[in-house]
Chains A and B, each alone.
Chain A
Amino acid sequence: MTDPSAAAAGTATRDTESYVVAPEHLEDVKPGGPGKPRSLWSDAWRDLRRRPMFIISGVVILLLVVIALFPGLFTSADPNLTDLARSRKPPSADAWFGYDLQGRDVYARVMYGTRWSLLVGIGAAVFTVLIGSMLGILAGFAGGWVDGLLSRIGEVFFGLPFVLGAIVILTIFRNAGVNGALPIVGVVVLSLAVLSWPVAMRIMRSAAITAKQQDYVKAARALGARPARIVFRHLLPNCLAPVLVYATIALGAFIGAEATLSFLGIGLRDPAVSWGVMIADSRNFVRVAPHMLLFPAGFLTATVLAFVMLGDAVREALDPKLR
C-alpha cells in the first residue's frame, strides 16, 4: 500500500456520526437506569472477542511486538556478520531465509528489522492522530473562521500526492545530512505524519460537529461547563473511535509506505535496517536470489494485512449499524 490517505477512502471515513450517536452509547451518559448500561467500548470488546479476524490479527501483532522488542529471542545469529563466501546462498537448515549479497543471515536481519518497520508505523500513526485530532476537534468545536482556516490548511497538505510529497521532503532531508538510526526514523515518521494528518483531522472534525449537536453536550453547556471541559470531558471521548479505527488501518499503511520510500532509496537506511531497506537491497538480484526479496516482503505483507484486518474488525465492532 503506497498511499495511506487512500486507506480512508474505502474504509474509515464512512459514517462518522454512526459512532457518535449510537443508542447504546448514549445510555452510557445517563447511568442509573435498570441494570448496568454498557459503554460503546465494552460492547465492542464483547463483539470483538468472537471475531476470528480480530483474534488472528491480534496474535500476529502481539508476536511482531515481541519480535521487535526482543529479536535476540528468535535468532542467535548476528544480523550484521558478513561472510562473502556464503553470498546469496539459498535457504538451508542453517539459515532459514538464506543469505544476502554480503553473506548476512536474512532471517536474523528480518527479525532485527521488525523494530524499525514497527517503529515507523507506530510513530507516524501517533503523530498523525495527535496533530489531526487536535486540529480537527478545534475546527469542529469552534466552527466559523477557525474551522475555515484550518480546513483550508488541511486541504493544502491533502492536495499533495503522497509519494511525490514524501519524495520532496525526504530528498531534502537526505541532502541535509541526517545521520544515526533514530534521527533517520524521526525524519521518515515526520514526513509521513505531515502528509497524512488532514485525513485524521477531517474524521475528527465531522465527528466533533455531530457530537456538538447531541443533547448531552447541550446539557453540559446549559449547566455552565467551560469550553475546555466540554471538549475534553464530552467531545474527545465520544469522537475518538473513528479516528482510532483510521489510525489502526493507517499504521499498516505507513509500514508499507516506509518500505516503498526505502525501496526508492529515500526512506530508512543503514543503521536503521527495516524490511523495506532489505527489499531495496535485493533490487538488482531478484532474478538470481529471489529469497532476498520474498522473505522480508512476506513479513511486510503479513504485518500490513494484520493491521488492516484489525482496523476492519474494530470498525465493524464499533459501528452499531453493521452489528
Chain B
Amino acid sequence: MGRPTPATREGVRGMGRYVLRRLLQLVPVFIGCTFLIYVLVWAIPGNPFAGMCGERPCPDSFIAMMTDKYNLDDSVFVQYFKYMGNLLTGDFGETFSGLDVGELISLRWPVSLRLALMAVAIQTVIGLVAGIVSGLRGRGFFDSLVLVSTLFLIAIPTFVTGFVIQILLGFQWEIMTPTVSSEATWAELVIPGFVLGSLSMAYVSRLTRTSIAENKRSDYIRTALAKGLPQRRIVWVHLLRNSLIPVLTFLGTDLGALMGGAVVTEGIFGINGIGRLVYDGILSKEGVVVTGVVVLLVIVFLLINLIVDLLYAVLDPRIRYD
C-alpha cells in the first residue's frame, strides 16, 4: 500500500544514479570475463590449433588464415580488442569447413530461446506453487514433501533426469517421441523444458519457501494484522509481493544461465539449438565453434544479469538507497 512510488523526483534521480553505478560496475566485469576466455582460448602457451580441426592436425593454409584473421602475431591486448570489435559487428568467425558461425547461431537461437522460456515457465509455475503453499502452511506433510522432493531434484544431475525421462516416456511407454523434430514446436519442448528447468524448480520452491517463512514473522505483517486487514489482502499484497522479489531476480538470472546451460538437454533430446551446436562442436573437436558460441553466450548471460539488476531496483525501491 504505502510503498514509495519511483515516480517522485527524488526517486527518479536515485534510479538514474543506480543505473549508472551498475553500468559502470558491469564494464570491468564484462571486459574481464571476455578477456579471460579470449586468453584461455588463444594465448595459452602451446599450439592453439591442436584439436581445432577435428581429429587431424590443421593444414597450414588454415593456420595462416586464422593467424591473419585473429591477428595472432600482435600482442594479446591488441588481439583481444580486434576480436571484440569483430564480435560486436556480428562477425563470429568460421568453422573449419567454412560455415559462418554467426549464421549457424542465427538459425538456431530461436529454438534455444523457446526451450529456455519453456523451462522458466514450468519451473516458475510448479516451483512457486510448491514454495508458496509450503511456506504458508509451515511444518507439516506438504512441507516435508516439498523439502524431500527438492532435495532429490538437486541431487540428480540434469542428464540423468533427461535420460530416465527419455527411457520411460519415449521408449517404454511411448508417450512422447524420444527426440525433438527440427521444427521444435512448443508442444515438443514441454518435456525437455521440464528436464532443463528441474534443478531451478527446486531452488525456486526452496527460495520462495524460506522467503515467505521469514517474512511471515516480520513487523509489517504483524502491523497489517493489527490493523485488522483481511487475511487475503495480507497474504497477496503484503506477504507475497515482498517475498517474491528475490525469486523474480533468481528467475531472470536463470533465463540467462539456461540459454547456455541447455548444452546437455539439447544434446540428449537432439534439439537443434545453440547448446547442441556447442555439444556437437565438442564432440567433433571444432574449437572455433565452441569458443565463438561460448563467448556470445557469456555476453548474453552478463547482459541479462544487468537487466535483472535494474528490474530489481524498479521492484524494490529500497535497494537504490543503499
Contact partners of A252 in chain B: CB under 8 A? 155
A3–B261 Cα distance when bound, in Å, is: 9
Contact partners of A259 in chain B: CB under 8 A? 157, 159
Binary interface profile of A, 166-187, with partner B (CB < 8 Å = 1, else 0)?
Answer: 0111011011110000000000
For residue B255, give the distance in angstroms from its CB to the closest CB of chain A: 12
Q: Interface stretch among B30-38, B68-76, B102-110?
A: B30-38
For residue A21, give the distance in angstroms from its CB to the closest CB of chain B: 18
Contact partners of B285 in chain A: CB under 8 A? 175
Most B-side CB within 10 Å, residue of A3, A163, A287, A300 = A163
Please tell me which one of the listed residues A153, A156, A175, A177 contacts residue B287 in the complex, with CB atoms under 8 A apart. A175
Q: Which residues of B, 44-68, contact A by the 8 Å Cβ criterion?
A: 44, 46, 50-52
Q: Does A10 contact B (CB under 8 A)?
A: yes
For residue A312, give the distance in angstroms from its CB to the closest CB of chain B: 8
The chain A residue sitting closest to B268, CB to CB, is A283
A227–B305 Cα distance when bound, in Å, is: 37
Binary interface profile of A, 74-106, with partner B (CB < 8 Å = 1, else 0)?
Answer: 000000000000000000000000000000000
Contact partners of B263 in chain A: CB under 8 A? 163-164, 167, 264
Contact partners of B267 in chain A: CB under 8 A? 264
For residue A40, give the distance in angstroms from its CB to the closest CB of chain B: 22
For residue A54, give the distance in angstroms from its CB to the closest CB of chain B: 14
Contact partners of A159 in chain B: CB under 8 A? 29-30, 32-33, 298, 301-302, 305
Contact partners of A9 in chain B: CB under 8 A? 203, 207, 250
Is there contact, CB below 8 Å, between A6 and B33? Answer: no
A217–B52 Cα distance when bound, in Å, is: 55
- Show 15 residue pairs from A and B whose CB-CB distance is below 8 angstroms, ordered by the A residue: A1-B158, A152-B32, A155-B32, A156-B28, A168-B294, A171-B282, A171-B291, A174-B51, A175-B52, A264-B267, A265-B282, A286-B167, A293-B163, A308-B151, A309-B151
For residue B258, give the distance in angstroms from its CB to the closest CB of chain A: 10
What count of chain A residues pass the 8 Å CB interface test?
A: 52
A304–B154 Cα distance when bound, in Å, is: 9
Q: Does A119 contact B (CB under 8 A)?
A: no
Q: Does B193 contact A (CB under 8 A)?
A: no
Is there contact, CB below 8 Å, between B40 and A3? Answer: no
A3–B302 Cα distance when bound, in Å, is: 17
Query: Do A167 and B159 form a contact, CB below 8 Å, given A2-B261, A3-B257?
Result: no
Is there contact, CB below 8 Å, between A176 and B287? Answer: no
For residue A169, give the distance in angstroms from its CB to the closest CB of chain B: 6
Q: Does A66 contact B (CB under 8 A)?
A: no
Contact partners of B298 in chain A: CB under 8 A? 159-161, 164
Q: Does B278 contact A (CB under 8 A)?
A: yes
Contact partners of A260 in chain B: CB under 8 A? 157-159, 264
Please tell me which one of the listed residues A177, A266, A308 contacts residue B154 in the complex, with CB atoms under 8 A apart. A308
Contact partners of B33 in chain A: CB under 8 A? 156, 159-160
A157–B33 Cα distance when bound, in Å, is: 7
For residue B63, give the distance in angstroms from its CB to the closest CB of chain A: 14
Is there contact, CB below 8 Å, between B50 and A300? Answer: no
Contact partners of B283 in chain A: CB under 8 A? 265
For residue A200, give the distance in angstroms from its CB to the closest CB of chain B: 19
Query: Do A304 and B28 form a contact, CB below 8 Å, given A1-B199, A286-B167?
Result: no
Q: Which residues of A, 294-310, contact B by the 8 Å Cβ criterion?
A: 294, 297, 300-301, 304-305, 308-309
Please tell me which one of the listed residues A155, A172, A286 contacts residue B44 in the complex, with CB atoms under 8 A apart. A172
For residue B96, give the distance in angstroms from its CB to the closest CB of chain A: 14
Contact partners of B113 in chain A: CB under 8 A? none
Q: Does B206 contact A (CB under 8 A)?
A: yes
The chain B residue sitting closest to A302, CB to CB, is B155
Is there contact, CB below 8 Å, between B154 and A1? Answer: yes
Is there contact, CB below 8 Å, between A290 and B50? Answer: no
A160–B260 Cα distance when bound, in Å, is: 11
Interface of A, secondary structure class, is helix
Is there contact, CB below 8 Å, between B155 and A304? Answer: yes
Most A-side CB within 10 Å, residue of B160, B199, B290, B302 = B160
Is there contact, CB below 8 Å, between A305 and B51? Answer: no
A247–B86 Cα distance when bound, in Å, is: 40
A159–B302 Cα distance when bound, in Å, is: 7
Please tell me which one of the listed residues B156, B207, B282 contacts residue A10 in the complex, with CB atoms under 8 A apart. B207
6 other A-B residue contacts (CB within 8 Å) besides A155-B32, A156-B28 = A1-B154, A11-B206, A156-B29, A163-B263, A168-B41, A168-B290
Contact partners of B302 in chain A: CB under 8 A? 159
A176–B46 Cα distance when bound, in Å, is: 7
Q: Does A140 contact B (CB under 8 A)?
A: no
Q: Does A263 contact B (CB under 8 A)?
A: yes
Query: Do A263 and B297 form a contact, CB below 8 Å, given A6-B203, A167-B278?
Result: no
Is there contact, CB below 8 Å, between B297 and A155? Answer: no
The chain B residue sitting closest to A2, CB to CB, is B158
Query: Do A172 and B282 form a contact, CB below 8 Å, given A2-B264, A161-B260, A305-B152?
Result: no
A162–B297 Cα distance when bound, in Å, is: 12
Is there contact, CB below 8 Å, between B37 and A160? Answer: yes
Is there contact, CB below 8 Å, between B154 and A164? Answer: no
For residue A248, give the distance in angstroms from its CB to the closest CB of chain B: 13
Please tell me which one of the listed residues A7, A174, A279 contacts residue B160 in the complex, with CB atoms under 8 A apart. A279
A212–B167 Cα distance when bound, in Å, is: 54
Contact partners of A293 in chain B: CB under 8 A? 160, 163, 167
Contact partners of A294 in chain B: CB under 8 A? 164
The chain B residue sitting closest to A159, CB to CB, is B33
